[in-house]
Amino acid sequence: MEKKVALVTGASRGIGKSIAIDLAKNNFIVVINYNQNEELAKQVLEEVNLYSEGYIIKADVSNINDITNMYNLIREKYNRLDVLVNNAGAIIRPADWQEISEENWQKTLDINLKSVFDCTKMFSELLKKSMAGRIINISSTVGISSAPPVIAYSVAKSGVNALTNAFAKALAPNITVNAIAPGNIDTDMTQGAGEGLINWVIDNTPMKRLGKPEEIAYLVSFLASEKASFITGQIIEVAGGYDLR
C-alpha cells in the first residue's frame, strides 16, 4: 500500500517533534514544518527517517504566503495529503492582560489561531482527495478554562476549539476534524513559566506530574488512524486531571 502523508506544523521541538516521530513509527511519510531552527528540524528528520520518510519545509504559518509555498511544495512532491496536524503555537511574553502589547496580542492570534484557519483552508482540497482525511488541531486546556496570565493565548486556543467544531461540520464526511487540548506538558514552553508555577501546577494535578509530549503524540496517531474514522468535532483534554472541577 502507498504510504499516507502527514504534515505537522511546528515540528522541530516539543509536542510537534514527538508527533512527527510517532506518525513515522506508524508508517506515515511526515512533512516536518519549522519556522526558525533548521538544525533542530534536521534532527527530527533524522529520527523520522529511522522509521519512514521525512521532508522538511521552512514556513512561518502565520504568513499566508509561506503556507501557499508549503502547499505547492507538498503538492509537487507527493500530490497528496492525508493528515494535517495544526500544532504550531507560541506564548509571547509578557502575556498578562495588563501588560500585553497590541503587537503581541495580534501576533499571538496570528500564530495560534489564524494559522489553523489558513492551513485548513489551504490543504482541505488535498485532504478531501484522500477520502479519509484527518485534521488534528493542538489546542490547550486554557482554551476551555481561560487563564488571565496568558489571555491572548487562551483566546486563540478557544478560537481553535470553535474552528474544530465548525470545520468538522463543513468538511464532513470525507475529513474528520478533532482537537487535542493538552494540559501542562513538559516542554520548553512550559518550562518558561518558571519553577514556582510548575510546582504549583504539579501539586494541583491529580496525577502529580507534568505530561509527556509522547502522550499527546499517541493520541494524534490514533486520531490519524482508521480506528478513529467515526470521531469528529471533539476537543479531547489530556491534562492528568488538572482540568477536573
In whole angstroms, give the CA distance from residue 66 to residue 76: 15
In whole angstroms, give the CA distance from residue 30 to residue 188: 23
Count the residues in the chain.
Answer: 245
* Adjacency order of strands within the sheet including 235-238: 54-58, 29-34, 5-8, 83-86, 133-138, 175-182, 235-238
In the residue annotation, 153 being an active-site residue is answered as yes
Q: How many CA atoms lie less than 13 Å away from 174 in the CB half-sphere?
A: 11
DSSP bridge pairs for 182: 238
User: Residue 53 has which C-alpha cell?
Assistant: 520518510
Residue among 55, 71, 153, 242 flagged as catalytic = 153
In one letter, which amino acid is 125? E
Is the Cα dihedral 234, 235, 238, 241 positive or negative?
negative
In whole angstroms, give the CA distance from residue 53 to residue 23: 10
Query: Among all residues, which ones are annotated catalytic?
Result: 153
